[in-house]
Structure 1
Amino acid sequence: MRSIKLLAFLFLFGITAYAQTAPQAGLVDIKQAFKKLNILGSVLYVAAHPDDENTRLLAYLAQEKHYRTGYLSLTRGDGGQNLIGNEQGELLGLIRTQELLAARHIDGAEQFFTRANDFGFSKGPDETLKIWDREAVLGDVVWVIRKFKPDVIICRWPTTGEGGHGHHTASAILAQEAFTAAADPKRFPEQLQFVQPWQAKRLLFNSFNFGSVNTSAENQFKLDVGVYNPVLGKGYGEIAAESRSQHKSQGMGTAKERGEAIEYFKTILGDAPHTDLMDGVNTTWKRIGNTEGLDANINIIAKQFDENTPAASVPGLVKVLSRVEKLNDTYWREQKTKELKNLIAACAGLWFEAYTAEPTYAIGDTMNVKAQLIDRYDTGYKINRIYSGAALQAIPVYQNTISYMAGASLDIQRLIPANQLQTFNLKDGAAKITQPYWLEKPRTLGSYVIGNQLLVGDPENSDLPKVTFEFIIEGKPIQFERRLVYKSVDPVRGEVYRNVEIAPPVTANIDNSVYIFKDVSSQKIAVKLKSFTQTSGSVALKAPAGWKIMPEQIAFNGKKKGEEWTETFTVWPLDNQQRNDVLKVITTVNGTEYQMGLKRMAYNHIPTITVFPPAQTKLLKLNIQTPGKTIGYIVGAGDLVPDALRQLGYKVVLLSEEDVMKGDLSVYDAIVTGVRAYNVNDRMAVEQPKLLNYVKNGGNLVIQYNNNAGLVTTDIGPYPFRVINQRITDEDAKVTILDAQSPLLNYPNKITQADFDGWVQERSIYHVDKIDPNYKTIFQMNDPNEASNNGSLITTDYGKGRFIYTSLVFFRELPAGVPGAYRLFINLLTKPAN
């Protein structure tokens, strides 16, 4: 709940500097905030994924109409592809979460989620709702509605399937069910200890005209959301493009649009709007009691606002705040109190933030905190108290710096000198590991496990460390929260903010996600450890029966904070039986066991992300032959296939354009293109003739899947075929072998039906059709109730060599340690001698 409060606080002033914790407080922000004060209306937009949201509509509702506006994305986008890195699954979900927050900081809306996991493309809502656990995710949607209390709910997708993706349709189905369930006290009654039933006025479908699908009609209710906002100096098509372009992992960079933009809406439930989206909804102070004349008071203050002396508005705003704090309506009292406080701080010229001395601390350690504030005007206001998780005690004053340490309650009661930065040194305890709350427990295929109802819906942890500043303004104590962050200076980017991290005492990382044993020979497994505090302890590996590990345990002593070191274990299978097991790393410090690794993801458009994944790897004992030695790899959108090949013992060389165009390609046993290489690398069109010549001269070229949209060339193979948006989403779909004699299924490993057991998320994506007769098709497969499809793997001999195009999702299966995927991929890499 506290996270939602904090986010509303951050979003008050619309477009903000995303990395900072203090809201923007310029004249534009103040004018927008004044307009918002007299508006008491809210809209919740509901869809399935990051990038589903209509950013232009969100920006219009939040910054033109000044409604409290939210986007509920049922998933975090975990199952998609990644165009900026090689993160997949939960790690990709973390990136897309931050991209959504970056987008919301631009368009002014708030962001929410359910526990639903994006398990990959789904062709229908029935499959989606079964895998998600329909009732649990519905409960999350109901919870968000009851907390957010939207007057209007808008769906991006219809229930009738025109959205294509099963997740899309399911999001609309759940929104429709939740519209009614949220108002029914008999539904999800366990929530009512925290929230009350809520009935929205109407549920609308934001109809669309995408490609060949047109669900809009002129008789539907419509809005022009392409208007220009002279205060912001932008139209909402321009703001929308900036917002949507934050979805960089999906390649959603968008051109700015200007001018009229009509949005259409179809009424699904509730009263239909006729003249306004909020028809029948009182969006003024009159919707709640005891507010007579409040809007007039605010209008007078706004009209009298002097941009040369903003602080002159503070006394009036403080009087309004005192009145609003006494209102009986809890919801709008809370929302408008936050808006007023931040508007008061902006007009008063108060800026304040809090930083840790280091980016990372170990749980239980003391964090050194620097709280800074400045009164940019000469208001004569006081800083009364500053406190964090620990109580604080004052120690001597040194010029403009005061230091405090953990202890009794702190009362500063000090006038703030005009335009002089004040620094206060505090100490706080690192109380809880900052693991994203939805990753604290293992998830199921369809959903994350969330043990605390109050966390549901939050985009981030609500209990991240914070510092509270209490000022005395016009004789009134007013409190503000700031998230505790670490701030540094990058020589290129300048000031860079990131959330403070609280880590386990020691983390343990293993380089490879999979270790493959082709016989009973041993392998060395190096464990990279990092200490986040001065500590001693031990590290051990744990595997199921059938494996031998030496030594059993390794002690470490006197490790300093920040120290990194490596311990090496020897692991081997006890017999030749094929195995697929998990190897865990356990570190023990002061009698407490930890099984956490460390993963940081740094991209310039979002804050650095730190997560502590399970410290583990997979051990595969396979009956497998790998006669090849050297593989050339042309990187695409990013995948982990090269690492998997190196684990098999191959030498993998990442090929540059110069390597392809000028190098001797005959030295490679095979050349592989990464996923979406023909989408993201426009030089592939130039390199393609050289690659086909490599095949013609005896080489073995393996092309992994590409999206049919945005190909840099359609002449991918020596003979024609067409890439299409056809996929097999059932990872257990039956695979029929069409050409049992194909070398791809016999050399160097015999491929059988058993090699398709245990695949994850899907079989294949972006198949091919219109296949030239020179190609041989190898497999036939289909999703339930669909025709069989043979476009997942094609091959042809060309000159002295072999060309292969595959839509099978090796980029998912190899990092997941699927044995059959390894055996088949090795066959693709290995061309029999002529």
Structure 2
Amino acid sequence: MMKRFSLFVFASVISVSLNAQSSGQIQKKIEKLNTFQKVLYIAAHPDDENTRVIAWLGNGRNAEVRYLSLTRGDGGQNMIGTELGPHLGILRTQELLAARSIDGGTQAFSRAVDFGYSKTSDETLEKWNHDVVLGDVVRAIRTFRPDVIVTRFPPDSRGGHGHHTASAMLALEAYELAANPDAFPEQLNNEIEPWQPKSVYWNTYSWRWDPNLDSLAANDPKYIKSDIGGYDRYLGESYVEIGSKARSQHKCQGFGVSITMGETFEYFQHLKGDVVEEDLLESIDRSWETVGATPEVARLAEAIQEEFDPQHPEASLPKLLALRAGIVDHLEQHWAQIKLQQVDELIADCAGLYVEVIAEDWSALPSVYFNAKARLIARGTDGLSVTSVTWPNGGLTLKKAEELPLNRFFTQSLQIKTPMEVSQPYWLRAPFDASYHVTDPTLIGLPQNPPVCEVEFRIEYENAGFFVRVPVDYKWSDRVEGEQRRPFVVSPRATATFDEPVFIFASDESKTVRIRVKSFEDNFSTAARLKVPEGWSVSPRSIPLDFTDKYEEKVVAFEVTPPAESSEGTLQPELAFVSDPIQEFTEIAYPHIPTQVVFGNAQSKVVRLNLVIDKGTIGYIQGAGDEVDVAIQQMGFHVVNLSENDLANSDDLGMFQTIVIGIRAYNVHPWLLNYKEKLMKYVENGGNLVVQYNTATRDLLSSDIGPYPFTIGRDRVTEEDARVRFIDPAHPFFNNPNAISESDFEGWVQERGLYFATDWDKKYQPLLSWHDEGEPARIGGLIFAPYGKGSFTYVGISFFRELPAGVPGAFRLLANILSYE
């Protein structure tokens, strides 16, 4: 029986058609076909990996390289949009996959959640559940079977971030356990077996840990030095060029880099296992024969590489098909699966084969049939024919093989039934805390869901067959961008999405709550209702809705009235004829990633606050990924968003009670530096200027942002329950118009604050003190200075996290800061 394979492998990048490659790319693949080396690169977050090393190992050394990122980066920040939390994790996952599509590696994850900055590995491993994440690293080793493990960080406090240190510690533990059948025995089956890598090395670097690394590497046998800057004649680029381009896919973290080239050295320090002399992979002697191939099969593989004609790739087809048969008959299962995939890709490439399956729409409901069209074209040779087309729970065996004439499309209409489950990233299907709960062990480690539907084609050439499998996609043409694609998804009948994640009620007056209801089928009728917490009331009771067209949206508005006293709860929508729980709908769309559709239980938090404000107009200058202005509006202030043009054309900013500068604004808005004089004049004349945190990184445009000097440092308080001390309890920020007490700092999420001020002029007054366990007091999270008739405040407090989470005390404190006169 002919073995099948999938071009959509474990660490597939994005849902795309099968497209032919250039002769140079084919030659690179043939080199890789004759290589049997594997490297597992391990770190904590998206963007931690060294893309240049991955590009060098994967293309210069032709090794199989996989990056295991323990988290999806959900606890980070966002330079390009407003996604935070799980949605940010989805974006960063796709950015990793975009990077792998460039540097040639593959991608995997553990179930660890990025819960934010951690100062110790002890805290990290406790929150993650050490054994769960350790088991995932062991599983990754057993699944991938690397020869060498490379960590990005050292297994000690030099890693800085607790997640970084923990990633190296777990790599070393897993190295010891992966070969032990008594460790995590539930993982073992016919496909996953114990595995022992040869060694573990740390990919160290001089600019952070050791400025004398070059001389150390020359004299200490535990270090090796590798020039990774070589030029690849097949790809037309050096490995550091490729790595630089891959690095720049981490856009939401601001990690775009210049393209470099030329001699470039990387250093690797031995941590465990065999010590190599000069090269990470020097002791790997695996070959065709060592994985079960006969000498004839090995010679055939070598002949394919030696005889490849870039002018006529199709001339390699007979030998590639013969090699395929030899792989099926002789190779051990693990390597047979890998080499079958590589050979079948090469067969398709040498034939100039293009394959796609395009659905008539980008979504369909569960358990329904949808129409799709398969298209195949062989542009490199004739003589190919299609004998069958199959998909889950369906298929089409052709009565007569359909020939693929040279450079002419073969088209086949298909009717395919969707799965029963609505599309949703597998790691978000169940509630989670510091690690994701995944009930299906076959999904653990996957970078994303398998495609909703894949179609497999059996293709013959000279009476020998092979398989290609492609996902079902949707494509369309944009008049500006040209051809566009997105993955096909399964949707609910309708969704209901709140305009805001939290609604704040500062009094007992009612407030309008709006919900976007979206239909995912034509001619659909429903009725929208809103379930409110006990003690709250809503009007009207029900709103009928009739949709004519699929994807039509209608906004419904309910008047929600809070109780007289403080209260918190959850709003939940209800839709007639739509299964509970009702889902919300989010699209994450950026040019550098495929559009991601996220469904999830629809709900919004409501908070009745005892909140007083001095009502006025707030000028708000947006930062990066910034939605604090929305929360300020909800408190009852009138908010005016200020652009560069507004600042340039405004002669008098005195109409604003307070001007707030958004998070990371001085990291992303160079034009803001031009208006310091105008902003200081506003303060001098009696204005209240509040600057939220900026990151003390290479993209900080200036720290000269206040009336007097201060430095934006790296101090932060990561323990969200760290006790607060008021340095000046009598300060108006803690008394007017709301009395702030320690209870207002209860229920905070992820952290207290970050990038606190340091080394400030004596004219500034620090107002709050707090610290993580075992550390000295951090007092730069809130500093204040009078200037002229007004005041300037720098705030490192994480309002950008606390306000969307509906933390009452954060609203009350910010209300006081904004109300200050």
Counterpart residue number, 2:802? 813
Counterpart residue number, 1:128? 124
Q: What is the CA–CA distance in structure 2 between the aligned matches of 1:608 and 1:503, rounded to whole Å?
A: 15
Match of 1:371 among 345, 370, 374: 374
Counterpart residue number, 2:589? 602
Give 1:627 shift.
1.9
Counterpart residue number, 1:656? 643
Amino acid at match of 2:385: K
> CA 1:441/1:10 → structure 2, altered by over 3 Å: closer, same or farther?
closer
1:201 aligns with 2:190: no
Secondary structure, in 3 states, of the residue corresponding to 2:534? coil
Counterpart residue number, 1:177? 173
Amino acid at match of 2:733: L
Secondary structure, in 3 states, of the residue corresponding to 2:321? helix
1:263 aligns with 2:232: no
- TM-superposition CA deviations, 1:310-368 (whole Å, max 9, x none): 21110111000001012351110000000000100111121111111112222233221
Note if contact 1:644-1:814 (Cα within 8 Å) is conserved in structure 2.
yes
- TM-superposition CA deviations, 1:205-245 (whole Å, max 9, x none): 11211346558431212221111111111111111110000
Give 1:557 shift.
5.4
Counterpart residue number, 1:745? 734
Amino acid at match of 1:281: I
Counterpart residue number, 1:88? 84
Secondary structure, in 3 states, of the residue corresponding to 1:470? strand
Equivalent runs, 1:450-599 vs 2, <5 Å: 450-534=438-522, 535-556=524-545, 560-573=549-562, 575-589=563-577, 592-599=579-586
Match of 1:825 among 798, 814, 817: 814
- TM-superposition CA deviations, 1:361-385 (whole Å, max 9, x none): 2223322111111011442111111
Q: What is the CA–CA distance in structure 2 between the aligned matches of 1:618 and 1:504, rounded to whole Å?
A: 23
Counterpart residue number, 1:47? 43
Equivalent runs, 1:700-711 vs 2, <5 Å: 700-709=688-697, 710-711=699-700
Q: What is the CA–CA distance in structure 2 between the aligned matches of 1:383 and 1:672, rounded to whole Å?
A: 64
- TM-superposition CA deviations, 1:76-120 (whole Å, max 9, x none): 111111111111111111111111000000000000011111111
Note if contact 2:15-2:487 (Cα within 8 Å) is conserved in structure 1.
no
Match of 2:675 among 687, 693, 696: 687
Give 1:68 shift.
0.9
What's the RMSD between the two structures over aligned residues?
Answer: 1.9
Q: Structure 1 stretch 333-342 or stretch 658-667: which is displaced more? A: 658-667
Amino acid at match of 1:71: Y
> CA 1:99/1:494 → structure 2, altered by over 3 Å: closer, same or farther?
same
Give 1:189 shift.
1.0
Secondary structure, in 3 states, of the residue corresponding to 2:8? helix
Counterpart residue number, 2:624? 637
Counterpart residue number, 1:402? none
Give 1:74 shift.
0.3
How high is the sequence identity, in percent, across the aligned residues? 40
Match of 1:323 among 326, 346, 351: 326
Counterpart residue number, 2:294? 291
Q: What is the CA–CA distance in structure 2 between the aligned matches of 1:145 and 1:747, rounded to whole Å?
A: 58
- TM (norm. structure 1) is 0.94
Give 1:34 shift.
0.9
Q: What is the CA–CA distance in structure 2 between the aligned matches of 1:420 and 1:593, rounded to whole Å?
A: 48
Give 1:410 shift.
5.2
1:767 aligns with 2:764: no
Note if contact 1:579-1:621 (Cα within 8 Å) is conserved in structure 2.
yes
1:69 aligns with 2:65: yes
Secondary structure, in 3 states, of the residue corresponding to 2:374? strand
Q: What is the CA–CA distance in structure 2 between the aligned matches of 1:51 and 1:98, rounded to whole Å?
A: 12
Amino acid at match of 1:118: D
Q: What is the CA–CA distance in structure 2 between the aligned matches of 1:118 and 1:648, rounded to whole Å?
A: 30
1:167 aligns with 2:163: yes
Equivalent runs, 1:377-392 vs 2, <5 Å: 377-392=380-395
Note if contact 2:350-2:380 (Cα within 8 Å) is conserved in structure 1.
no
1:116 aligns with 2:112: yes
Secondary structure, in 3 states, of the residue corresponding to 1:293? helix
Q: Structure 1 stretch 692-701 or stretch 250-259: which is displaced more? A: 250-259
Q: What is the CA–CA distance in structure 1 between the aligned matches of 2:557 and 2:471, rounded to whole Å?
A: 39
Counterpart residue number, 2:304? 301
Counterpart residue number, 2:769? 780
Amino acid at match of 2:598: V
Match of 1:106 among 96, 102, 107: 102
Secondary structure, in 3 states, of the residue corresponding to 1:435? coil
Match of 1:436 among 411, 415, 425: 425
- TM (norm. structure 2) is 0.95
Counterpart residue number, 1:186? 182
Amino acid at match of 1:695: V
Q: What is the CA–CA distance in structure 2 between the aligned matches of 1:240 and 1:170, rounded to whole Å?
A: 25
Q: Structure 1 stretch 766-775 or stretch 578-587: which is displaced more? A: 578-587
> CA 1:10/1:562 → structure 2, altered by over 3 Å: closer, same or farther?
closer
Counterpart residue number, 1:231? 234
Amino acid at match of 2:206: N
Secondary structure, in 3 states, of the residue corresponding to 2:512? strand
Counterpart residue number, 1:398? none
- TM-superposition CA deviations, 1:675-725 (whole Å, max 9, x none): 011111111211111111101011111100011223322221111111111
Q: Structure 1 stretch 725-734 or stretch 641-650: which is displaced more? A: 641-650
Q: What is the CA–CA distance in structure 1 between the aligned matches of 2:143 and 2:230, rounded to whole Å?
A: 31
Secondary structure, in 3 states, of the residue corresponding to 2:386? strand
> CA 1:345/1:374 → structure 2, altered by over 3 Å: closer, same or farther?
same
Q: What is the CA–CA distance in structure 1 between the aligned matches of 2:790 and 2:477, rounded to whole Å?
A: 53
Amino acid at match of 2:677: P
Give 1:306 shift.
2.1
Secondary structure, in 3 states, of the residue corresponding to 1:209? coil
Amino acid at match of 1:729: T
Q: What is the CA–CA distance in structure 2 between the aligned matches of 1:739 and 1:412, rounded to whole Å?
A: 87
Counterpart residue number, 2:611? 624
Q: Structure 1 stretch 420-429 or stretch 143-152: which is displaced more? A: 420-429
> CA 1:668/1:558 → structure 2, altered by over 3 Å: closer, same or farther?
closer
Q: Structure 1 stretch 539-548 or stretch 794-803: which is displaced more? A: 539-548
Q: What is the CA–CA distance in structure 1 between the aligned matches of 2:325 and 2:668, rounded to whole Å?
A: 56
Counterpart residue number, 1:397? none
Note if contact 2:153-2:159 (Cα within 8 Å) is conserved in structure 1.
yes
> CA 1:529/1:413 → structure 2, altered by over 3 Å: closer, same or farther?
same
Q: What is the CA–CA distance in structure 2 between the aligned matches of 1:530 and 1:261, rounded to whole Å?
A: 53
Secondary structure, in 3 states, of the residue corresponding to 1:369? strand
Counterpart residue number, 1:792? 781
1:670 aligns with 2:673: no
Q: What is the CA–CA distance in structure 2 between the aligned matches of 1:215 and 1:587, rounded to whole Å?
A: 66
Secondary structure, in 3 states, of the residue corresponding to 2:580? strand
Secondary structure, in 3 states, of the residue corresponding to 1:413? strand
Q: Which runs of 5+ in 2 are unaligned?
A: none
Note if contact 1:382-1:415 (Cα within 8 Å) is conserved in structure 2.
yes
Match of 2:793 among 782, 786, 804: 804
Give 1:30 shift.
0.7
Amino acid at match of 2:196: Q
